[in-house]
Amino acid sequence: MTNEMPSTDAVSDAVPSEPAPMPVTRKIPFTKPTLTGKEAAYVNEVIESGKLTGGGRFLKDCEAWLQAQTGCPRVLLTTSCTHALEISALLSGVGPGDEVIMPSFTFVSTANAFALRGAVPVFIDNRADTLNIDETKIEAAITPRTKAIVPVHYAGISCDMDAIMAIAKAHKLMVVEDSAQGLCASYKGKALGTIGATGTFSFHETKNVVAGEGGALMINDPELVERAQNIREKGTNRRQFLLGQVDKYTWVDVGSAFLPSELMAAFLLGQLEGAETLTASRLRLWNRYHDAFADLEASEHLRRPIVPEDCVHNAHIYYVLLPSRAARDAALKALGEAGIGASFHFVPLESAPAGQKYSRTAGSLETTENTSGRLLRLPLYADMPDDDQDHVIERMRQLA
Examine residue 27 and state whether it is found in any structural domain, yes or no.
Answer: no
What span, in angstroms and rounded, lies between the C-alpha atoms of 31 and 208?
10
* Whether 315 and 372 share a structural domain: yes
* Whether 55 and 131 share a structural domain: yes
**Residue 128 near residue 140 (C-beta atoms within 8 A):** no
Question: What CATH number corresponds to the domain at position 180?
Answer: 3.40.640.10
Q: Which helix (H) or strand (E) holds 156?
A: none
* Whether 345 and 370 share a structural domain: yes
* Whether 263 and 279 share a structural domain: no
What pLDDT sits at residue 238? 86
Parent domain of 48: 39-272
Examine residue 24 and state whether it is found in any structural domain, yes or no.
Answer: no
What pLDDT sits at residue 92? 98
Write down which residue in 220, 242, 272 finishes a domain: 272
Examine residue 22 and state whether it is found in any structural domain, yes or no.
Answer: no
Residue 23 to residues 19, 163, 311, 379, 383: CA-CA distances in angstroms? 12, 52, 43, 20, 25
What pLDDT sits at residue 23? 62
* Whether 147 and 60 share a structural domain: yes
What span, in angstroms and rounded, lies between the C-alpha atoms of 65 and 94?
31
Question: What CATH number corresponds to the domain at position 376?
Answer: 3.90.1150.10
What span, in angstroms and rounded, lies between the C-alpha atoms of 96 and 328?
40
Residue 106 per-residue DSSP state: S
What pLDDT sits at residue 16? 43
* Whether 237 and 348 share a structural domain: no
Examine residue 155 and state whether it is found in any structural domain, yes or no.
Answer: yes
Write down which residue in 243, 272, 301 finishes a domain: 272
What pLDDT sits at residue 242? 81
* Whether 262 and 281 share a structural domain: no
* Whether 234 and 296 share a structural domain: no
What pLDDT sits at residue 21? 54
Write down which residue in 245, 272, 299 finishes a domain: 272
Enzyme catalytic residues: 207
Examine residue 220 and state whether it is found in any structural domain, yes or no.
Answer: yes
Count of beta carbons in the 10 Å neighbourhood of residue 44: 11
Residue 129 to residues 162, 311, 363: CA-CA distances in angstroms? 17, 13, 19
* Whether 231 and 109 share a structural domain: yes
Query: Could you give the dihedral angle defined by the CA atoms of residues 208, 212, 213 and 214, in that order, rounded to the nearest 10 degrees?
Result: -60
* Whether 320 and 333 share a structural domain: yes
Alpha-helical segments (H) within the chain: 8-13, 39-49, 57-70, 81-92, 108-115, 138-141, 161-171, 225-232, 238-242, 262-272, 275-292, 294-298, 325-337, 353-358, 366-374, 386-399
**Residue 267 near residue 39 (C-beta atoms within 8 A):** yes
* Whether 279 and 357 share a structural domain: yes
Examine residue 12 and state whether it is found in any structural domain, yes or no.
Answer: no
* Whether 371 and 389 share a structural domain: yes
The rounded Cα 314 to chain-centroid distance in angstroms is 12
Per-10-residue mean pLDDT, the chain, length 400: 36 42 78 98 98 96 98 98 98 98 98 98 98 98 98 98 98 98 98 98 98 98 97 92 86 96 98 98 98 98 98 98 98 97 97 97 98 98 98 96
Which pTM was predicted?
0.92
Examine residue 89 and state whether it is found in any structural domain, yes or no.
Answer: yes
What span, in angstroms and rounded, lies between the C-alpha atoms of 197 and 376?
33
Provide the number of structural domains found in the chain.
2
The rounded Cα 203 to chain-centroid distance in angstroms is 9
Strand partners of residue 218: 75, 199
Examine residue 15 and state whether it is found in any structural domain, yes or no.
Answer: no
